[in-house]
Structure 1
């Protein structure tokens, strides 16, 4: 099975999460908008000055120059926060940046183009209609669509909502993710390293990725290579999560219990042994309607397959296309001469349309060189690649 077919199976198997909740916009960063939002007001809600200067009618300043200034009566003065209902009759009004511009005035002349007059002002330069002037609704028109359902909310969205006076927004409930790391040899960072043990590195990476995507980790635990313990851990995790991720135990070793455990749990198999290296044994199942993604115990293999399937899954569950993995076409700057039997994902660095292989060790157990990489090169099987070839890269989210 190809990756694209596996992703298509996920699309058919997963249904969007319908539950929503309300949160303050100060807490909405990274959340997914649950519904379309329309502007309740115009922004700005009144015509305002973009400069310190004088509100005028552009027609009154025709022909103004240093040699032949136009002289106007100054009929008032407004600061930001002031208000004047009186419409234009004649002359000019002294205005400051952000102050209202009363009806009838259609431009603002910069004070640098005047003599700064208080009662009468000499104006040395003409202006066009709308110059230095922010019209009513110039930024946002009332009732216009300002945020689509399924949008991942960023800082600009929050600023936009605040400018409209919207303090609270309806968002999708966060996707709940449980991470179960299997392996009797594994220890959490901070514990004393005993003989034959190694520190677990996969779970911390995956946990950070889940939270960075705006979702939440409900369970994060290490379980020994014991069939009953793994069974119990997955069963409990499924009660608390929308996605259960396991690492290790998916191959054919004597203590690779995941296939047997999933059978005992009556999990519905979606796919396994996709055409990809590393992480070929990766399998996906449905357990009581929840996605169970079982990854390799090798850190790099686990991370590659997590990046391929997890982001597609949360994109489907939240209705946010932006969460899906981004792919680009790039020019290969470094030859890759090894001919692989399977489609291979190779860690690399993408920049300005070119992709380089900054590392030599591509072993599935190695992660130290990932700090130098920002993408995977998707290399088809049975072919060597030379410098200048076009390749597909999958960007690594961070």
Structure 2
């Protein structure tokens, strides 16, 4: 039996990052992956500006100034943010300026208004300052030709402000990844239809779809397919045409109607792994067809969800080169006993908070869905280990 890490590494080695890009409006670019380097085409700020409300001066004209010996300067103009008036710089003069306003050529500092008498025609300066005080030079923030963001950057809200400051209104980003879901099993019915005898509602697809769409992953195809080999082949091929990743649920074990292994083989899929060292979800299959990964999960809800969480996010992060899609793995201290010793590595549903992890339920059957509602992670438990309160355990948070 292979370890999960080996299986994941082998699957990633068979696929390539998605290179397709598209232009989107800046207003739609947040949380996307940047598809090109961004190089500044202008200086920021584009003009010398004041960092304070006060008076633009030549610093040398404030020499020796204090409250006992103020320096008096003549006010030769007034500028507000947005004004751009060239005012000649003369000895012994000052220009009234506001925060963000243009500082005329020749003036090299701004005395804040709190260090003056707030004069309107002439102003008394109560403090000596040096050149550059409260003065923002052209290009102080960003220089023209400077690389601002690198290709592959996960764009956040602060990046939107940075791009807007450069006048950029359209951004080249990587296309969103697409994943199609095929739920297999003649027992499945869609919610919203009357439940027939011997049938159950399809729940797993809704968990997986919600998880993916919450992270910006598109799900163009979600269908149920009965236990029919030819129909399964047709549906898988449809999935491959619509998506970058295909997920199937059910049909991976050894029952008479577990047709997925045979169907994948007949389609020509390359099996990368199956029957890894994990419970639940041991029969999970990873394969590749037409250069696209197919992740075939168990039909049991927790088995499907836990293995989806382990494999899918690492796969999606690799294909999109978006590290933020990776899951969070850490250590926590166990609060409850888990006396069952397993021959295989085991995922145990749990709830973690502030460094401690609890088991909200005593029932850990992979087919049980209801007790997952109070869980936010699973414990990644080594084979042959019995867990006691106070033990440190490895956990993986649900995405």
Same-fold call, TM cutoff 0.5:
yes
Q: What do the CA deviations read for 1:200-247 (whole angstroms, capped 9, x no partner)?
A: 222122222222333321211111222232222112221222211101
1:136 match = 138
Q: 2:347 aligns with which of 345, 348, 354?
A: 345
2:6 match = 5
Query: Residues 77 and 87 of structure 2 are in contact (CA less than 8 Å); yes or no, is this contact kept in structure 1?
Result: no
2:320 match = 318
Q: What's the offset of the Cα at 1:262?
A: 1.0
Q: What do the CA deviations read for 1:275-313 (whole angstroms, capped 9, x no partner)?
A: 122211111111122111101111222111112211222
Q: 1:236 aligns with which of 235, 238, 248?
A: 238
Aligned length: 396
Matched, 1:375 2:373: no
Q: What's the offset of the Cα at 1:63?
A: 4.8
Which is worse superposed, 44-53 or 278-287?
A: 44-53
1:163 match = 165
Distance 2:307 2:25 in 1: 35
Cα 1:388–1:127, aligned 2, differ >3 Å: closer, same or farther? farther
Query: Residues 334 and 355 of structure 1 are in contact (CA less than 8 Å); yes or no, is this contact kept in structure 2?
Result: no
1:118 match = 120
Cα 1:65–1:247, aligned 2, differ >3 Å: closer, same or farther? same
1:359 match = 360
Distance 1:268 1:138 in 2: 55
Matched, 1:37 2:31: no
2:62 match = 61
Distance 1:132 1:276 in 2: 62
* Structure 2 spans left out of the alignment, 5+ residues: none
Matched, 1:256 2:245: no
Cα 1:234–1:47, aligned 2, differ >3 Å: closer, same or farther? same
Q: What's the offset of the Cα at 1:198?
A: 2.6
Cα 1:193–1:169, aligned 2, differ >3 Å: closer, same or farther? same
Query: Residues 40 and 143 of structure 2 are in contact (CA less than 8 Å); yes or no, is this contact kept in structure 1?
Result: yes
* Structure 1 spans left out of the alignment, 5+ residues: none
Q: 1:205 aligns with which of 195, 204, 207?
A: 207
Distance 1:386 1:145 in 2: 53
2:187 match = 185
Cα 1:201–1:139, aligned 2, differ >3 Å: closer, same or farther? farther
Cα 1:392–1:67, aligned 2, differ >3 Å: closer, same or farther? farther
1:73 match = 74
TM-score normalised by length of structure 1? 0.91
Cα 1:385–1:125, aligned 2, differ >3 Å: closer, same or farther? farther
Which is worse superposed, 267-276 or 92-101?
A: 92-101
Q: What's the offset of the Cα at 1:173?
A: 2.1
Distance 1:112 1:337 in 2: 70
Distance 2:105 2:141 in 1: 19
Please give the secondary structure, in 2, of the residue aligned with 1:217.
coil
Which is worse superposed, 275-284 or 80-89?
A: 80-89
TM-score normalised by length of structure 2? 0.90
Distance 1:7 1:303 in 2: 16
Distance 1:131 1:329 in 2: 49
Q: What's the offset of the Cα at 1:117?
A: 1.2
Cα 1:311–1:49, aligned 2, differ >3 Å: closer, same or farther? same
Query: Residues 332 and 357 of structure 2 are in contact (CA less than 8 Å); yes or no, is this contact kept in structure 1?
Result: no
